[in-house]
Amino acid sequence: MSRHCPSRLVFTVITASLLVPAIARPQVPAAPSTTGTASTPDVSEAESLPTETKLYDATTGKLVEKSEPSTNAMTLRQLLRAGGTIGLVILALSMAMVALIVEHMLTIRRKALMPTGLADSFGSLLSAGRFTEADQLCRERPSFLSAVLAEGLAEAPLGYPAVEKSMEDASAEQAARLFRKIEYLSVIGTIAPMLGLLGTVWGMIVAFQEFANKINPPVSELAPGIYQALVTTLMGLGVAVPALAAFAIFRNRIDELVAESSLMAEHAWAEFKRANLGRGGGQTRRRKEPTGQPTERQERRVPPVAIERPEAPSS
């Protein structure tokens, strides 16, 4: 063992002399390597960084600059410019629709068609036998009800049946006039979407014409045609919906007011009706009871007639 001790001692001294300077030397952080593999970036930092995508034109190969999306709303001038000539026509129809709706709201209402107190005043004058003043009252307050009452007053000498028939005819005539008046709203509601469809077809023709003229047309040249098509469709539907809705509302209102006016006219003539029928003015025919004699209907019945046919000549 004494033989190996000096050699072990020498080995221990040499090893210690090599390790001590390495341990005592200060630790310096290693510089990032420029030739080695790149360090892996943090995933969270990579997700937070915005990525930029570059677009290139397929035909020229040049970089296409991206435009920022516009956040401005479409103005009325831009809408009309996109609609073109067809859009201006639809705009004119919309203005006519608004004017008609306002006019109908002022004329087709209860106070305009049936003035307050007209039926009562007319009935009082009629009961007193003042027919001239009753006619003057109808002329001073022109309306649906006054026209019906005046027509009945003209047939008063012929009895109440003639008055009733005259008022029915006058009521039907006045109602037809009101229905023809609101018919323009129905026409506008029908034409407006058809014009919008015409603008749609025209815009699609313009859009597909760009495909025919160029091999790969950009989107900026295709957009105006489709844009115009959608705008005219929107404008046409925007006019048609309120026009048809207003037409339905006014039609129902006319039906209601015409029925009320006819009933009010009958009430105004109620006293005259009772007085006229009381003194036998109303000539009503009654069927006779079966007493063995033929009734009036049986007397008017035409008896069957035998028709003699000529005999065919013998051969």
pLDDT tens digits along 183-217 = 999 999 999 999 999 988 888 887 777 777 777 76
In a domain, 299, yes or no: no
* Residue 1 is assigned to a structural domain of this protein: no
Query: Which pLDDT score is estimated for 15?
Result: 58
In whole angstroms, give the CA distance from residue 251 to residue 168. 19
CA distance 28 to 70: 55
Under the banding of pLDDT at 50, 70 and 90, the label for residue 12 is low
CB 206 within 8 A of CB 224: yes
265 located within any domain: yes
pLDDT for 300: 39
Q: What is the pLDDT of residue 16?
A: 52
pLDDT band at 226 (very low <50, low <70, confident <90, very high): confident
| Residue 290 predicted with pLDDT over 90 | no
Confirm whether 46 is domain-assigned: no
pLDDT digits (tens, 9 = 90+) for 135-176: 999 999 999 999 999 999 998 888 889 999 999 999 999 999
Domain containing 215 equals 78-276
User: Which residues are 55's β-sheet partners?
Assistant: 64
Residue indicated by tokens 């006054």: 146
Range picked from 73-82, 104-113, 219-228, 272-281 for highest mean pLDDT = 104-113
Percent of the chain with pLDDT over 90: 39
Q: 224 exposed, middle or buried (CB, 10 Å; 0-12, 13-18, 19+)? A: middle
Question: Which string of b and e fits 279-293 if b means at least 16 CB within 10 Å?
Answer: eeeeeeeeeeeeeee
> Hey, what are 152's tokens?
């009945």
User: Of 2-16, 110-124, 181-195, where does the model show the most confidence?
Assistant: 181-195
* pLDDT at position 274: 85
Q: Which two tokens stand for residue 155?
A: 């047939």
pLDDT tens digit sequence for 28-64: 444 444 444 444 545 444 444 445 455 454 445 555 4
Q: Per the domain annotation, does 50 fall within a domain?
A: no
The rounded distance, in Å, linking the Cα atoms of 199 and 201 is: 5
| Long-range contacts of residues 87-92, Cβ cutoff 8 Å, at least 24 apart | 87/199, 87/231, 87/232, 87/235, 89/195, 90/192, 90/195, 90/196, 90/232, 90/235, 90/236, 90/239, 91/235
| Residue 63, beta-bridge partner list | 56
- Is the pLDDT at 1 greater than 60? The verdict is no
Residue 184 inside a domain? The answer is: yes
Share of the chain above pLDDT 70, in %: 61
**209 is a domain residue:** yes
DSSP string over 253-286? HHHHHHHHHHHHHHHHTHHHHHHHHHTT-S----
Name the helix (H) or strand (E) containing 247.
helix 219-268
Contact 239, 93 (CB under 8 A): yes
d(CA 279, CA 99): 53
- 94 within domain boundaries: yes
Which of 32-46, 122-136, 260-274 is least confident? 32-46
Compute φ and ψ for 52, nearest 5 degrees: -110, 125
Instruction: Check: CB of residue 147 under 8 Å from CB of residue 154.
Output: no
Look at residue 19 in the predicted model and tell me its pLDDT. 53
- Structural domains counted in the chain: 1
